[in-house]
Amino acid sequence: MFDLSGRKALVTGATGGIGGAVARALHAQGATVALSGTRAEKLEGLASELGERVFVVPANLSDMDAAEGLPGQAAEAMGGLDVLVANAGVTRDNLMMRMKPEDFDAVIDVNLRATWRMSKACLRGMMKARHGRIIAVSSVVGTTGNPGQTNYAASKAGLTGMIKSLAAEVASRGITANLIAPGFIATPMTDVLTDDQKAKIDDTIPAGRMGTPGEIAAAAVFLASDEAAYVTGSTIHVNGGMAMV
């Protein structure tokens, strides 16, 4: 099950903890992967670790033209594109009273607008192929909200509406569109927290611990697989029971 041999996947934000794990997992199931992110050197590092069936396509997704062009670049490199994992995201946290409009816009640009651009750019090829998987990495805060993250939570909730609508539009063509909503995941981003802060977070999670990037990647493997053909417009929440929605 979940064999991805011959499938070609673009993973954005592959320099990050979750994106890297997703790329590794898809690759381990046999997929050819195109790694995208802003730091080319780090992508090259992951690419050499994976060895074969891997391409590097750096992009800055705050640039909408770059976002729109990325799937085409990846398809050219891999000889097709079956799976988009739109994982790249940024945060610029602050209380709304202190947040600058630019902080709102910058987060919406990368997390929501760029994902829309990339998804649109994938559709022509996927429609012709009568097959495609669009997977957006959302967040639990897109559902629950979170103080300090009016911009980030809005972008993630926006993804949900977008992906559900897209799922309805293209379901008849063998294309699925789904979301993965991680809760707290242990990544370099959470490494900076103190032990005390981490313990407080763990207390809010029924599972009693943060998730691992691999646990997000497992959901991505499932959604990318042929076995998930009938799953569309869904959100897989991977959060240790932190929010049961």
* Chain positions contacting another protein, by CB under 8 A: 124, 127-128, 169-170, 172-173
Give the span between the Cα atoms of 118 and 203, in whole angstroms. Answer: 37
Phi, psi at 136, each rounded to 5°: -105, 135
**235 to each of 108, 147, 151, how far by Cα in Å?**
20, 22, 20
| CA gap 225, 228 in Å, rounded | 6
Tally of CA atoms within 13 A in the half-sphere of 7 that contains its CB: 29
Is 243 within any annotated ligand binding site? no
Structure tokens at 181: 């909503």
Closer of 39 and 120 to another protein (Cβ): 120
* 87 belongs to an annotated ligand binding site: yes
Asked about 152 being catalytic, the answer comes back as yes
Minimum CB distance to another protein smaller for 169 or for 227: 169
Q: Is 230 annotated as a binding residue?
A: no
HEC secondary structure over 114-138: HHHHHHHHHHHHHHHHCCEEEEEEC
234 is in an annotated binding site: no
Task: Say which of 86, 152, 160, 213 is annotated catalytic.
Answer: 152
Q: Cβ closer to another protein: 53 or 173? A: 173
Whichever of 104 and 116 has its CB closer to another protein, that residue is 116
Compute the least distance from the CB of residue 127 to another protein, in Å.
6
Please tell me whether 38 is known to bind a ligand: yes
**DSSP code at position 171:** G
Query: What are the φ and ψ backbone dihedral angles of 88, each rounded to 5 degrees?
Result: -60, 135
Distance CA 87, CA 25 (A): 14
Least Å distance, CB 124 to another protein, is: 6
Binding residues for NADP(+): 38, 87, 152-156, 185
The residues annotated as belonging to the active site are 152
Binding residues: 38, 87, 152-156, 185
